[in-house]
Amino acid sequence: MNWTKLAQEVILGKKISDEEALSILSCEDDDLLSLLNGAFIIRKYYYGKKVKLNMIINAKSGYCPEDCGYCSQSSISSAPIEKYPFLSKEEILDGAKRAFELKAGTYCIVASGRGPTNRDVNVVTDAVKEIKELYGLKVCACLGLIKDNQANELKEAGVDRYNHNLNTSAEHHSYITTTHTYQDRIDTVEKVKQSGISPCSGAIIGMKETKHDVISIARSLHKLDADSIPINFLHAINGTKLEGVNELNPRYCLKVLALFRFINPTKEIRISGGREVNLRSLQPLGLYAANSIFIGDYLTTEGQETNSDHAMLEDLGFEIELVGKQEEIFS
């Protein structure tokens, strides 16, 4: 396969075929650099060499009634995690200050549970108003299944983006969870879009899905028109249904990132949870396909030191995309 030619065709509007998509995931390791060069041609065309940094705060941990097999916070998990109710506005603001100082342009407020209470939404909206005033960060909320009025309130408060991952293909969804449907997830993203909030939705790779499942989820996210697509690589946690699952290697993870770039050429592709344990020493290569990463810790697992991420981007010759008041201080 001539990946450069295919990349140029994608920029001109071509939608790759299922056969071409499968050839990306099945690419010989000896051709991996050629594949990544093709992905980089697309990435550079739309995003140059800029990288968006995102940081999470786990605003509510544990106590979730859902049975998601990958999650240490689920009702069926026995993982020994810290559990606590929704954080206060002040604690959320402290996290925003740290995100600002670490040059993360997007601050992600994430909470466990099926969906937020009205009180939870009020805490988030109060915090967001001050975050905007103090730091000018972009704010992403990830609170589960939401109601129309809640989405509208978040939009009015200044929430820029709402994350609700599809996680896997429609066909594989029931293996991962049974307490909500694939359609529930799609409906939530559609509500977000209707409120005027930018939709963020992605995948978790490595949950015993097939290559065809991976292609399916990439196409579903294209159809959903998600502006930001986080790609998580399973970090199997003891005590969860997927404990011990370890199907990935760094080279395959890079092929997955390339696939998502070829199928969703104009979108923010973010390397997310599990990058440190799955991409390992090949993490820098992932940014030739992706244009965004999470920094700091995740929900119940640790990330690598932010200084290491900053150094990685500098070594690559890439530029951190600053927002708002960050430009005044760090430029």
Residue 52: CB atoms within 10 A of its CB come to 21
Q: Output the DSSP codes for 117-162.
A: -HHHHHHHHHHHHHHHHHT--EEEEE-SS--HHHHHHHHHHT--EE
Residue 196: CB atoms within 10 A of its CB come to 11
8-state DSSP, 331:
-
Helix count and strand count (H, E) for the chain: 14, 10
- Pairwise CA distance, residues 167 & 157, whole Å: 27
Query: Among the options 27, 108, 142, 253, which is catalytic?
Result: 108
pLDDT at 301: 64
pLDDT at 76: 86
**Residue 253 annotated as part of some ligand binding site:** no
**Nearest CA to 113 among 203, 199, 204, 179?**
179
**Residue 142 annotated as part of some ligand binding site:** no
Q: Tens digit of pLDDT per residue, the chain (331 long)?
A: 999 999 999 999 999 999 999 999 999 999 999 999 999 999 999 999 999 999 999 999 888 989 899 988 888 888 888 888 999 999 999 999 999 999 999 999 999 999 999 999 999 999 999 999 999 999 999 999 999 999 999 999 999 999 999 999 999 999 999 999 999 999 999 999 999 999 999 999 999 999 999 999 999 999 999 999 999 999 999 999 999 999 999 999 999 999 999 999 999 999 999 999 999 999 999 999 999 999 987 666 667 778 899 999 999 999 999 998 899 999 7
Query: Among the options 68, 185, 261, 275, which is catalytic?
Result: 68
**Nearest CA to 8 among 34, 45, 36?**
45
Q: Is 200 a catalytic residue?
A: yes
Query: Among the options 64, 161, 261, 275, which is catalytic?
Result: 64
**Residue 68 annotated as part of some ligand binding site:** yes
**Nearest CA to 312 among 282, 290, 272, 289?**
282
Instruction: Classify the phi-psi angles of 50: left when phi > 0, otherwise alpha if psi is within -120 to 50, otherwise beta.
Output: beta
pLDDT at 103: 96
Query: Among the options 27, 119, 142, 270, which is catalytic?
Result: 270
Fill in the amino acid letter for 255.
K
Fill in the amino acid letter for 16.
I
> What is the token pair recorded at 171?
């066909």
Q: Output the DSSP codes for 263-325.
A: HSTTSEEEE-TTHHHHTGGGHHHHTTT--EEEES--SSS----HHHHHHHHHHHT-EE---TH
**Nearest CA to 253 among 229, 273, 236, 275?**
275
Give this prediction's pTM.
0.96
**Residue 108 annotated as part of some ligand binding site:** yes
Q: Is 142 a catalytic residue?
A: no
Q: Which residues pair with 200 in a beta bridge?
A: 163, 228
Residue 13 half-sphere exposure toward CB, CA atoms < 13 A: 0
Query: Among the options 43, 142, 161, 200, which is catalytic?
Result: 200
**Residue 64 annotated as part of some ligand binding site:** yes
- 281 and 304 in contact (C-beta within 8 Å)? no
Q: Is 108 a catalytic residue?
A: yes
Query: Among the options 71, 161, 185, 253, which is catalytic?
Result: 71
Q: Is 253 a catalytic residue?
A: no
